[in-house]
Every structure is written in C-alpha cells, then in structure tokens.
Amino acid sequence: MNHPMELYIWGGDWGLPSVDLHCLEIMAYAKFSGVPLQTCVTNNPFWTPNGRLPVFKHGKQILSSFPEISAYLRKKNFNADFGLSHKQCSEVLAYTQLLRGQLYFALQYVRWVDTKNYIELIRPWYAKALPFPCNYYYPGSYEREAKHQLQALYDQDDDPQSIETFVYGEAEKCLTALSTRLGDQEFFFGVHPTSLDATVYAYLAPLLKVPFPSPALQNYLKACPNLARFVVRITQRYFPYAIQEFDAKKSAGSGARGETPESVSDFPNRRRHQVLAGLFAAAAMTGYALSIGLVQVSIKDEVSENLANHEDLIQAAENTED
Amino acid sequence: MPSVLLTESIALELGAQEPWPQDVKLFQPYEVEQILLPDNANCLAVQAFLKMCGLDFEVEPRSNAEYMSPSGRVPFIKCGAFVVAELDPIISFVNHKGISLSDKLDSVQKADMRAYMSLINTVLANAELYITWCDKTTLQEVTKPRFGSVLPWPLNHILAWQKRSQVVKKLGVLGWGNKTLDEVYEEIENCCSALSERLENRPYFFGDRPTELDAQVFGHLFTILTTPLPNNRFASIVRGYPNLIELCKLVEKEYFERTAEA
C-alpha cells in the first residue's frame, strides 16, 4: 500500500495542534506509535461521512472514531501499547472509561453549554474557522447537540445550575484521580507514552490551553501541576510546531499592538464597515420617511413654488408646520 | 458553582454528626415480580456495600420506589432525616460518618478504584440497560411484563413506553444507540476480561479486605449470573472468568448467607 495515511482535522490555536478532542486523541496516538500520518487542516465537516471531523483516510479505508482508527493502526502493526502487561492494558481500559464517563460531558459543558464561554470564545472561533455558509450552521448545531446530551443524561435536574454542579463535581474527582495516578512519572506507565497518555492528553490539553472566559474547571486543572506539566511536556516533545506557530502569532500580534488596538485585527476594514453601515441606515431611514410621506410633500411644494428666494422658503416651511 | 458545592457538603457534614441510626431503610422495587436487571444490580451493590461496612438496614420493597427516590433511580436509603439515592452518594454519605472500606488503600489505589468503578458504570450498567430495554425479545418477554406488573392497564403500556424512550435517549447520547447486540457482548467481554486481569488470584480487588469496588462488581455480576433472560449469553460471558465467579461466591458466603442464618 503506497497510499499515504491522511487525517482531516480541525485547525489548532493557542499552542494546540488541534482544538478538537477527538482530533488530538488520534494525532497523539499516531505520534506515540510512530505512524507516518499526514494531517490536513480542513475546518470543514461538510463533506465527511457523518458530518464530523476527524476523518482518517488510507487508500479506500475511511474511518472516523478513535476505537476504529486505533484498531486499524494496530492491524498495520502500529501499536503504542506494545510493552504493556495484561493488567496494565486493563488499567488503560478502566481509565479511558473514567475519562469518557466523567470528564467528557464536563468538557462539553465548558465548551458549548456555559453561555459565557460559548458566546465569547467558542462560537466566534468556529465561525471564523469554518468556511462561509457552514459557519452559520455548525456552531449552533454543536451547541444544541451538547445541550441535548446533558439533558438526556441528567433529565431529573431541571435546574441548569444543579447540572453544572454535578458535572463539575464529577470532573474534579476524575482530575484528582488522574493526578494521583500520574504522580511524578513522565507518562502513565513509565517513560513510554501509551494510548492512555494519548487519551488523557486529548482531554486535558484543550481544557488547559484554551483561554476560557469562565475558567472554573480550568483553574482546577491548573491546580494539579503534574497534569499541567504532562500536557506541556507532550506538546513540546511531539507537537513543537504548534507552540512555534502560536508564539510567532503572538509576537506578531504584540508587535502590531503598539500601533493599533487589538480589536482591529479581529475586524479588518472596521472603519469602512462603520461608514457603510451608517450610510445604509441613513438611506433606509430617509427612504422610509419619504415612502410614508413624512417629509417630502412640503419640500416638494416649496421647491416647485419658489426656488429663488431663500427667505420665502423658510417662511413657507413655517407655514406648513403650522 | 462553589456556593452550590458548599451547600451540598454542608448537608453531608450535618448528616455526619449523627451516628448510624437503628431504623435505616433501603427502598427498592419488589425483587421477585418487579425489579429489572439494571435496578437489581444497583440495589444489590448498595446492599453489599452496607453489609461490608457492618451497618444495619432493612430492605423495604415498594412498587413505586423509583418515583419516591430523590434522583429518580433506585435504590435509596432513609437514614434519620436524610434520604440518599444511588451507590456513589451513599458511599460518600457513609464516608462522612467516618466509616470507609477503602481507608487502608493508598492514594494511587484509590484512583485505580475510581477508574474501575467508572468502567463498571459505563460498560456493565449500560450493557444491562441495552439488553433490558433495546433488545426486542427481552423487552417483550421480560421487561414489559415485569415493569407493568404493578401498574393498572393503560399505565403499564404508557409508562413502559416512556421509560424505554428515556433509556434509548440516554444510551444514544452515550454512543450505545447504534450498537448491535454483538458489539454490546464484545464490550461486556472486554470489561470482564479487564476486571479479571485486575483481580488476578486475590480474594478481593485490593487484597484481603473488600472495598467499594468489590461491592459494585458483586452487585452487577451476581445479578447478571442469576437473572433468567431469554438469551443467556450475557451470563455465559461472565462464567468464562472463574476468578470473578469466585469473588461473587465469596461475597455471597461472607455477607449474605451469614445474615440470612442470623
């Protein structure tokens, strides 16, 4: 098979190779097991088989979930868990389920349901990353999906506050367990990264790096220094380009900030838009005033009666007002 | 968020000041006619946990236990002025009274225990729900008659349908909705083999003393082994792991037969 293995992913930002959990999981697993994987940033889930990224392509094989892809790679003799004993493999399974059961929905909550995070950060980011017509559809659809998930799981709690408390409580217990389990080790099972490390990295890295406006859970993660170091270590060792790109962008941003405020870079041609919007509003208002006959009748009459004399014009205007 | 967490912990603290009262009652559905596989597993796990702690309680079967429970799930215990539902909250409630099965474990073992407990919660519990409510034969032959046994005519169909749609929605969210029965059996197989690898040849998961994890494993596996279903492949998968069977027998002998004699 001479076909290259390709992975279509969401783009990265904030020093992450990708902002999406599922993309990160596969990318980290591929790095750990030495798969020559080519990643293509598409930011467009429209053409994928089930409407979501990542998509893994190898010749005619098209796969999109982590268990499928890791099973496929194992068949191709790329295995990150090669050196583990049976007992350690069983621990990998248990901790993976712990993350999936307790942390995943908290992450969904932080990203899509927490209003402040969603409106100020997540929706603008996805709207900017997605190409034109999709950017009106996908962020909202992901939000609805996340809300539906949390509602289906915690249906007895009508109060959103109690859902938040419960979800964050579970997530904190999970983070504590991970932090104790990792201890001072480099990776979860010694010096070599395994599939569990890939999964943990994928869950924790976005939570640590994305600058969420409401950072309750993020602060909890930052209070576990070994987990924070774990994320930084993997990013530096396996995805150095993401950090370099982010630093370059940051320094470019701070260089430009000396001359112009930061908001300009978010909205290019801001002045032009303002002028155009002002003109449009003025034209619309004038049109409306003209169409319902608020203004023009008197003016037309004056103009047709007498164009030459200015004082007459004012007089006439006063008359009509009376 | 912190304020709400605080009120929760205050409630637990207040409960902790009182000793374990004499008249604790554990509410659950009727075991012989009504209870379904997932509920039975949870009830048995809580019973095993309380017995391992050496705490007295009385089982109080109620046909509407599910609707009495504060969380909408069974079982729940009434302990003095407090009503606590489900295994995890009951464990932390009991821990606040200074009684714990896992205080001898070090912190890494506690983390491991948490991970395995969530393995059971996500795999075995969902597999039980799937087989009870999504497998057509089981649904028609076992689930609906048992669920409706305590309800009058139109309600037994309506509530069963409502409950089923709730479960299907939940399983769909958790990614179990599109699974086939064979994939579910494969998940169970993986879960049991992971548990069996972890248990090795010891009597309990963490040495000679039982922990919360043992209570939960016992609750689920014992129920799976003893519940008659139209398709008994579920039980036969579990039977493939002799050390897990040994664990179930040991817990039954130590904690359930002894109390039955007394």
pLDDT tens, residue by residue, A224-236:
899 999 999 899 8
| CB < 8 Å to B173, chain A | 148-149, 152-153
A207-228 residues labelled b (16+ CB within 10 A) or e (exposed) = bbbbebeebebbeebeebeebb
Q: Three-class SS of residue B82?
A: strand
Does B195 contact chain A (CB < 8 Å)?
yes
pLDDT at A214: 85
Strand partners, B83: B78
pLDDT at A157: 60
Query: How many whole angstroms separate alpha carbon B152 and alpha carbon B157?
Result: 9
Query: Using one digit for the tens of pLDDT, what is the confidence trace for B76-107?
Result: 998 888 888 888 888 888 888 888 888 888 88
- Indicate the domain borders of chain B: 9-95, 107-261
Residues in Cβ contact with B134 at an 8 Å cutoff, skipping those fewer than 6 apart: B167, B168, B171
Q: Token pair of B58, please?
A: 């009385």
DSSP 8-state assignment for residue A120: I
Contact A178, B111 (CB under 8 A): yes
Does A223 contact chain B (CB < 8 Å)?
no
Residues in Cβ contact with B102 at an 8 Å cutoff, skipping those fewer than 6 apart: B109, B110, B113, B206, B211, B212
Span B107-261: which CATH code?
1.20.1050.10
Q: Looking at the predicted structure, is the pLDDT value of residue B4 above 60?
A: no
With CB atoms and an 8 Å threshold, state whether A97 touches B112: no
Query: How many whole angstroms separate alpha carbon B247 and alpha carbon A204?
Result: 36
**B residues 28..67 contacting A (CB < 8 A):** none
Query: How many whole angstroms separate alpha carbon B130 and alpha carbon A121?
Result: 37
ipTM for the whole complex = 0.85
Query: How many whole angstroms separate alpha carbon B83 and alpha carbon B30?
Result: 19
Segments of chain A with pLDDT less than 70: 1-2, 155-158, 254-268, 296-318, 320-322
Does A153 contact chain B (CB < 8 Å)?
yes
Does A94 contact chain B (CB < 8 Å)?
yes
CA distance B260 to chain A (A): 34
Does B172 contact chain A (CB < 8 Å)?
yes
For residue A298, which of A284, A313, A283, A311 has the smallest C-alpha distance? A313
Contacts 24+ apart (CB under 8 A), A236-242: A238/A28, A238/A31, A238/A32, A239/A16, A239/A17, A239/A27, A239/A31, A241/A17, A242/A12, A242/A15, A242/A16, A242/A17
For residue A14, which of A316, A253, A250 has the smallest C-alpha distance? A250
Least confident among A6-15, B48-57, B116-125, B243-252: A6-15
| CB < 8 Å to A177, chain B | 110-111, 114-115
| CB < 8 Å to A162, chain B | 4
With CB atoms and an 8 Å threshold, state whether B198 touches A168: no
> Yes or no: is domain B9-95 CATH 3.40.30.10?
yes
Does A251 contact chain B (CB < 8 Å)?
no
